[in-house]
Amino acid sequence: MECESVYRSDRGTEVAFRIKAECITQEELEEALSFFAKSSRRFYLEAGNEIKRKI
């Protein structure tokens, strides 16, 4: 499974997401979704800290 999307705000902020996973069973899909959520949270915390340092 691959999914890719780019979102842009009216003020020019851009966010791109790319997900690639091999999910054959429901259990593997649930594990992948949990990993996506954990990774997203970590990314947003890191991005927030990076933006904060540049302000």
pLDDT of the residue at 8: 97
pLDDT of the residue at 14: 94
pTM above 0.85, yes or no: no
Who's near 21: CB < 8 A, 6+ residues apart? 1, 32
CA 13, CA 34: separation in Å to the nearest integer? 26
pLDDT of the residue at 45: 95
pLDDT of the residue at 18: 93
Q: How far is CA 7 from CA 14, 18, 24, 43, in A?
A: 6, 12, 29, 16
Question: Which residues of the chain fall below pLDDT 50?
Answer: none
Residue 6: φ, ψ to 5°: -125, 135
> Does an H or E element contain 14, and which?
strand 14-20
pLDDT of the residue at 32: 92
